[in-house]
Amino acid sequence: MGTDHAYDERFVHFVVLFNVDEDYFECHEVMEELWLEEGRNVLYQGLLQAAVGLHHFRNDNFSGAVKLFTQAENKLVHYPDELMGLDLKQLRADIGQSLAPLRAWQERGAASSGEAPPAFAPFRLVVLDVRLRELAKALAEIPFEIRLHGED
């Protein structure tokens, strides 16, 4: 897996883990490394928090999902609609669409009344940049385990 000058390989891998594998825990692992290396870049943190919000939501940690989606919204609101090859306007809308029913369910105290929580529905990062799309497609063709751990 060679490196591309425009996109860090970990960023590309994050996109693949998010969109193809829907492995939000591994998204966190990959992006956290890049986030720390890049001086705690707030954009990366917002992307990371969106992934962790989905991880919590899928694992029925609804308060964790609300917390992380809210933090992601608060970070991503400061960025333009398109950045790093991604449609951040759509991402903010998708986070909001996941967050609103979770927050309403929590505020109604629905968990204690036995009301079913909102159903988990993943969303994707919309990739606008053709180069990023090509890099992600090529990386996605490498088996998951090899992408994560390399070949033995």
User: Can you spell out the DSSP letters for 42-80?
Assistant: HHHHHHHHHHHHHHHHHTT-HHHHHHHHHHHHHHHTTS-
pLDDT of residue 152: 54
CB 59 within 8 A of CB 35: no
Residue/partner pairs of 24-27 with CB below 8 Å, 24 or more apart: 24/51, 24/52, 24/54, 24/55, 24/58, 25/55, 26/148, 27/51, 27/52, 27/55
Each residue's pLDDT tens digit in the chain (152 positions)?
A: 344 458 999 999 999 999 999 999 999 999 999 999 999 999 999 999 999 999 999 999 999 999 999 999 999 999 999 999 999 999 999 999 999 999 999 888 877 788 889 999 999 999 999 999 999 999 999 999 888 877 65
pLDDT of residue 84: 95
The Cα–Cα gap between 48 and 77 comes to 14
Q: Which residues does 151 contact at the CB level (< 8 Å), separation at least 6?
A: none
**Which one-letter amino acid corresponds to residue 31?**
M
Per DSSP, helices labelled H in 1-149 are 9-16, 24-37, 42-58, 62-76, 88-107, 110-113, 130-140, 144-149
Distance in angstroms (rounded) separating the CA atoms of residues 59 and 96: 19
Q: What is the pLDDT, as a whole number, of residue 122? A: 95
Look at residue 21 in the predicted model and tell me its pLDDT.
96
